[in-house]
Amino acid sequence: MHKTRSESAELAKALVEQLKGGKHKYLVAPSFTSLETVAAIVKGTNIRLGAQDCACEEQGAHTGEVSVLQLKDLGVQTIILGHSERRHIYKEDDALINKKVKLALQHGFEVILCIGELLEEREAGRVEEVCETQTVKGLEGVSAAQLANIVIAYEPVWAIGTGKTATPEDAEAVHAFVRKVLARLYGEDAASKIIIQYGGSVKADNAAQLMAKENIDGALVGGASLKADTFVPIAKFD
What CA–CA distance (Å, rounded) separates 97 from 5? Answer: 28
Q: Give the active site residue among 83, 117, 172, 175.
A: 83
Whether this model's pTM surpasses 0.85: yes
Letter string b/e over residues 64-80, b meaning 16 or more CB atoms within 10 A of that residue's CB: eebbbebbbebebbbbb
Q: Please list, residue by residue across 199-237, b when 16 or more beta carbons sit within 10 angstroms of its beta carbon and e when fewer do.
A: bbbbbbebbeebbebebbbbbbbbebbeebeebbbbbeb
Name the catalytic one among 117, 155, 172, 175.
155
**Residue 34: which CATH number?**
3.20.20.70
Active site residue 155: yes
Domain count, the chain: 1
- What range does the domain containing 153 cover? 5-235
Is 175 known to be catalytic?
no
| Per-residue pLDDT tens digits of the chain, which is 238 residues long | 999 999 999 999 999 999 999 999 999 999 999 999 999 999 999 999 999 999 999 999 999 999 999 999 999 999 999 999 999 999 999 999 999 999 999 999 999 999 999 999 998 999 999 999 999 999 999 999 999 999 999 999 988 777 777 899 999 999 999 999 999 999 999 999 999 999 988 999 999 999 999 999 999 999 999 999 999 999 998 7
